[in-house]
Amino acid sequence: MGRKGRISGLCVSLVSAVCLTLGLSGCGASYDTTSPRSAREHAASDADGSTPAASKPDVLKGGDGANDANGSVDCAVAKCVALTFDAGPSGNTPRLLKILEREKAHATFFMLGRKHIDRHPDLVRRIADEGHELANHTWSHKILTKTDSDEVRTEITRVQTAVKKLTGRTPLLMRPPQGRTDERVSKICRELGVAQVLWSVTAKDYQTNDSALIEKRVLDQTKRDGIILLHDIYPGTVPAVPGILAKLKKEGYTVVTVSQLMAPAVPEPGKVYRP
């Protein structure tokens, strides 16, 4: 192989490595993203610089005094990070909910429809009743960028309908499977009234059941205003949560839902939010 061939091959390898490292939406996808922090700051600026606390349930206190007596949190002051769980509910979710209740932490649950919402309706209600944020992860985890538009609509609306029927609430947030989205998917989300949420921290808990490793990966990647991605369907994940919450609290973090992280901004349908 000549020098040009070697250079070309190296470039392809580097691009592939970047795609694998990112793990988001694939290469070649073109779309704009907005960070929760910038959305929050823009909304506060529009409100003459005032940043009212999010009107949400109690959250894990991070030690910086940013929580008021009602448990609301101002992430412009607090060192916040959003905790999210994908692909449930499952048989592991009750244990997770007990942990979150004990630690006074709330999370955003991006729930799957088939074999999850339809099999665990009582858990969907419990997630809502205990003050967590209900969100959409599609009905059957199809890659939306590879799915025709009518089916994309069905994948999203079936979850919206099921959650509304069970809880009376319609999710405002949707996480596209594997984080893969594009302008077409964003347009459909705008039509359906859901914002898209990606992440900044992944433990890749789908690759390991080692709870200590999951905990380490989360803590190594977490930064202020980040979004943590975990799955409550894998056996190693829930046992890692107590350690994650304890260490985040020790480091001064306040654990919040995605909507709390963005407040006073309101998730805008069709937009893609990523720290």
Residue positions annotated with a catalytic role = 86, 231
Neighbours of 10 (CB within 10 A): 10
Q: Rounded distance, CA 38 to CA 68, Å?
A: 23
Where b means 16+ CB within 10 Å and e means fewer, 202-240 reads: bbebeeeeebebbbbbbbeebeebbbbbbbbbbebbbbb
Closest C-alpha to 152, from 163, 140, 144? 144
Give the list of residues 6+ apart from residue 251 with CB closer than 8 angstroms, or none.
none
Indicate the helix (H) or strand (E) that contains 195. Answer: strand 195-197
- Which tokens sit at 14? 């580097």
Taking the mean position of all CA atoms in its chain, how far away is CA 41? 20
